[in-house]
Structures are given as C-alpha cells and as structure tokens.
Amino acid sequence: MLGLGVGSLWLSIIVLLPIAAVAAKSLDGGFGAFWDAVTTPAARSALGLTLVASAIVALVSAVTGTLIAWVLVRDEFPGKRLVNALIDLPFAIPTIVASIVLLTLYGSDSPLGLHLIATRPIIVIALLFVTLPFVVRSVQPVLMEADREAEQAAATLGASNLTIFRRIILPTIGPALLSGIGLAFARAIGEYGSVVLVDGNIPQKTQVTSQYIQGRLESNQDGVVDVGAAANSIVLLLIAVVVLLALRIAASRGSRHHAR
C-alpha cells in the first residue's frame, strides 16, 4: 500500500500536476479562445507539418528499425557489439548536439554538397536520428525470444521466406513493433532540440509545432505562458496520448494468445 501511495503521489507531482496547470492555462479564455489559438494559419500549418513529418518518421523507423533489430539478432558480423551500443547514441547525446551535427553535415559548407537547411526533408532527417532507438529496442528482445523452430516448421510446410516473415514473424513482433512506432511518433511530434538549428523556423513552411510554441513564448515580453502556447501544447499532448493508447490497445489485441 505504501508503494502504491508513494507511486501515485510521485506521478501526480511530476506528471499530472504540470499537465493540469497547462490544461487550465489553455482554457483561460474559454474554449473559443483555445480554438482560435490552435487554428491560426501558422499553428495549423505547424501542426500539419509536425504530424506528417512524424508519421513519415514513424513508418520509416518501423522498416529500418525492424531491419536493424533483425541484423543485430540474427546475423553475426565483426563489430556487432559496437553497432549494438551505437543504437543508443541518439538517446545518449543531447539533442542540440544532434542539431549541430546535422548543421555541419547539411549546412552551407556541407561536406556532402547537400544543402538542406531550412527545408522540410531536414526535419524528417533530424527526427529519424533522434527516434532511431525506439523501434530497434522494442523489437530486438522479442526477436531474440522468437521461436526459430516455428519458422523452420513453416518452411517445412512450404512457406517461402517472405511468407514466413509475413505470417509467423510479423505477428510475433507486431505488438512490440506497434509500441516502438508509437513511441517514435510521440517523441517526434514533440521534438525541439534536434530541429531548432536546422529547420529555419519559417512560419507556415518549415516551422514545427514545438517551435511555434517557443515562438509564442518569445513574443511575450514577460515570458508568461499565454493561451496560444498552452493550447498548442495540449493539442500535442492529446495526440501523443491518443496515439500511444490506440497502439497499446491494438498491440494487446494482437498478443492475446501469445502467453504460453
């Protein structure tokens, strides 16, 4: 009981209370003001860009993350442990460092000759970088536990490698994959640090919601959180919660019968 009490209290102080404060602030001027704040052309454009970029990132991450997890679990190659450790790098380094790396790589003196600063593709690249570990680290342990003999059984029954992946492996890693996708998406929609130096922050063009919120705060001389900043934050929060919940429900449906 003590554990439950401490846990609830901690969760309340650290998570729920701040969220409640922002939610209250967002409704300072009533629901009309909230709606106006999130439907300004700049806010709508920023949200659209944020969602599309995050969706692309989540889908690309699903494919590449599964592939990387597969290689790390099933293949043997020199330097495997190093590569495995490298996966966590985007978690470990400050996101502003990621932004600087991208600025160096794709800026005006790009060693690659690629000038992507203040374009939409650089946002996707930055988000791909910071969300890399989510799908890999979700899928990897499930793949390690997967019953290889079930795959061999499918092969003896005539299933091609593609069929084995589609009908045996994918359903097995499905719940973990969905959870990885959800985490990557949720992280991507709120990402700020890795895009701040590279996306140019051009309203209605390359400005994502997190930067729009930052812009609202800066325009307020006394640094007070206004309805515009709070309302757009709440929208991001709601989207993240809904996506995570929906994927969790989908995952638990899929894994109903996996327990041995």
Query: Could you list the residues that contact another protein (CB under 8 A)?
Result: 147, 149-150, 152-160, 163, 167-168, 171-172, 254-255, 257-260
Residue (of 122, 121, 130) closest to 98 by Cα position: 130
- Nearest CB to another protein, comparing residues 119 and 172: 172
- Least Cβ distance, residue 149 to another protein (angstroms): 4
CA-CA distance, 199 to 218, in Å (whole number)?
18
- Least Cβ distance, residue 82 to another protein (angstroms): 24
87 exposure class (CB count in 10 Å sphere: 0-12, 13-18, 19+): middle
- Nearest CB to another protein, comparing residues 78 and 158: 158
- Nearest CB to another protein, comparing residues 118 and 146: 146
CA-CA distance, 117 to 122, in Å (whole number)?
6
Please count the CA atoms within 13 angstroms of the CA of 49 that sit on its side-chain side: 28
- Nearest CB to another protein, comparing residues 160 and 252: 160
- Nearest CB to another protein, comparing residues 107 and 254: 254
- Least Cβ distance, residue 178 to another protein (angstroms): 14
What one-character-per-residue DSSP string does 61-87 give? HHHHHHHHHHHHHH---TTHHHHHHHT
- Nearest CB to another protein, comparing residues 80 and 258: 258
- Least Cβ distance, residue 140 to another protein (angstroms): 19
- Least Cβ distance, residue 161 to another protein (angstroms): 9
Cα separation values, 234 from 38, 41, 213, 243, Å = 10, 18, 11, 14
Number of helices (H), then strands (E), belonging to the chain: the values are 13, 0
Contacts by 119-122, CB closer than 8 A, 24 or more apart: 119/200, 119/206, 120/49, 120/53, 120/206, 122/195, 122/198, 122/199
- Least Cβ distance, residue 64 to another protein (angstroms): 24
- Least Cβ distance, residue 148 to another protein (angstroms): 9
- Nearest CB to another protein, comparing residues 81 and 257: 257
Residue (of 180, 156, 184, 173) closest to 74 by Cα position: 173
